[in-house]
Amino acid sequence: MNYGMADFIGGFWHYYIAAATVVAIIGMIWFLKSQTTRRLGTGEQAELMEPTWDGDLKELNNPLPRWWLYLFYLLIFFSIAYLVLYPGLGKFEGTWNWSSADAYSQEKARVDAQFNAQFQPLLAKDLRVVAADPQIRETGQRLFLSYCSTCHGTDGKGAKGSRLFPDLTDKEWLFGNGEPDAIKSSIAYGRVGEMPAMKDAVGGEAGAKALANYVLSLSGLPHNAGLAAEGQTKWAACAGCHGENGKGNLAISAPDLTDKAWLYSGTEAGIMEAVMKGRKGSMPAQLEYLGEAKVHLLAAYVLSLSQGNR
């Protein structure tokens, strides 16, 4: 999408692009004129460009037909008029001051107004009621595919890797335990979950390894008992966020480490990486971009994805 060249080029590039465009137009006019100024006289034969073949086939250097030549000139004049009216010459915005950003904003505002007028009454309804309506849920699914599937997948199951895109279809929730208002708040205002790097606080890589085994023991996963006992002595560095018993604190997005649900990785190596390097995940706020009606429908659809697993 073109948001106007003035948004991203400096003075030099403005003159460079404008000059290159003007020179190209003048060059095309000159070339056309230089190649079509001479007409053949009566009875004069055009220059033969290639020997004949197949007996009588010849390639002659005939001038362009006049109608074709005039069409080229018309296109050049059209391009000049376009560059006067619309942006195209560096930072020059055109006499009509048109931009695709403004056109997009106006079109989006028009469509959003129609959407809000249609779905505004749903804002007064409980999200559980909205989520139970198949037709409304279908609308929410289309919104999800448009705005959320890039991160969370078309099926809502998310993806794990260098960045976290959580599964929205299971029963595990970091914020609000899957309550409708919490889901809507996450979509509307976003979420940020951050764990600081604790390598130095736990005694380096060896301490992180011991601590990782203790965390594995909290959720009943295979672990080294000796290292887990050593890691328990280092747990004080983590208890401030995750609690003395490892149950976490949803108010500060510190996850429960006693269950078998993992945001990133439930392996020794994965936990060690989290301890030593820290983690940071974020969900961008969508209310300003989408509007309240779309956020409400999206929250209802996300709620419906997990209702079967609650």
Contact 93, 101 (CB under 8 A): no
Both 136 and 161 in one domain: the answer is yes
Residue 104 lies in a domain: no
Contact 287, 189 (CB under 8 A): yes
Both 156 and 301 in one domain: the answer is yes
Residue 38 vs residue 125, higher pLDDT? 125
Please name the residues in contact with 245: beta carbons below 8 A apart, sequence gap of 6 or more: 258
Global confidence as pTM: 0.65
pLDDT in tens, 73-88: 999 999 999 999 998 8
Confidence band of 176 (pLDDT split at 50, 70, 90)? confident
Both 83 and 165 in one domain: the answer is no
Give me the pLDDT at residue 213, please.
Answer: 93
Both 182 and 294 in one domain: the answer is yes
Residue range 93-97: mean pLDDT, rounded: 88
Both 166 and 210 in one domain: the answer is no
C-alpha span between 12 and 35 (Å, rounded): 34
Residue 59 has phi, psi (to 5 degrees) of -115, 110
Max avg pLDDT among 58-62, 110-114, 250-254: 110-114
C-alpha span between 150 and 140 (Å, rounded): 15
Confidence band of 66 (pLDDT split at 50, 70, 90)? confident
Residue range 93-105: mean pLDDT, rounded: 88
Both 18 and 94 in one domain: the answer is yes
Give me the pLDDT at residue 22, please.
Answer: 92
Question: What is the extent of the structural domain holding 213?
Answer: 194-283
Both 170 and 33 in one domain: the answer is no
Whether residue 58 is predicted with pLDDT greater than 50 in this model: the reply is: yes
Both 174 and 203 in one domain: the answer is no
Contact 29, 80 (CB under 8 A): no
Confidence band of 162 (pLDDT split at 50, 70, 90)? very low
Both 296 and 172 in one domain: the answer is yes
Both 182 and 302 in one domain: the answer is yes
Number of helices (H), then strands (E), in the chain: 13, 4
Residue 107 lies in a domain: no
**Closest to 218 in 3D by CA, of 240, 197, 248:** 248
Residue 103 lies in a domain: no
Residue 106 lies in a domain: no
Residue 140 lies in a domain: yes
Length of the chain counted residue by residue: 310
Residue 184 lies in a domain: yes
Residue 34 lies in a domain: yes
Query: In this structure, what token pair is assigned to residue 183?
Result: 């889901």
pLDDT in tens, 108-134: 889 888 888 888 888 889 999 999 999
Both 241 and 272 in one domain: the answer is yes
Q: In total, how many domains does the chain have?
A: 3
Both 296 and 148 in one domain: the answer is yes
Give me the pLDDT at residue 161, please.
Answer: 54
Residue 227 lies in a domain: yes
Q: CATH code at 273? A: 1.10.760.10
Q: E-assigned strands of the chain?
A: 48-53, 57-60, 191-195, 279-283
C-alpha span between 193 and 190 (Å, rounded): 10
What residues pair up with 29 in beta bridges, in sequence order?
Answer: none
**Closest to 303 in 3D by CA, of 142, 59, 154, 130:** 130
Max avg pLDDT among 6-10, 76-80, 261-265: 76-80
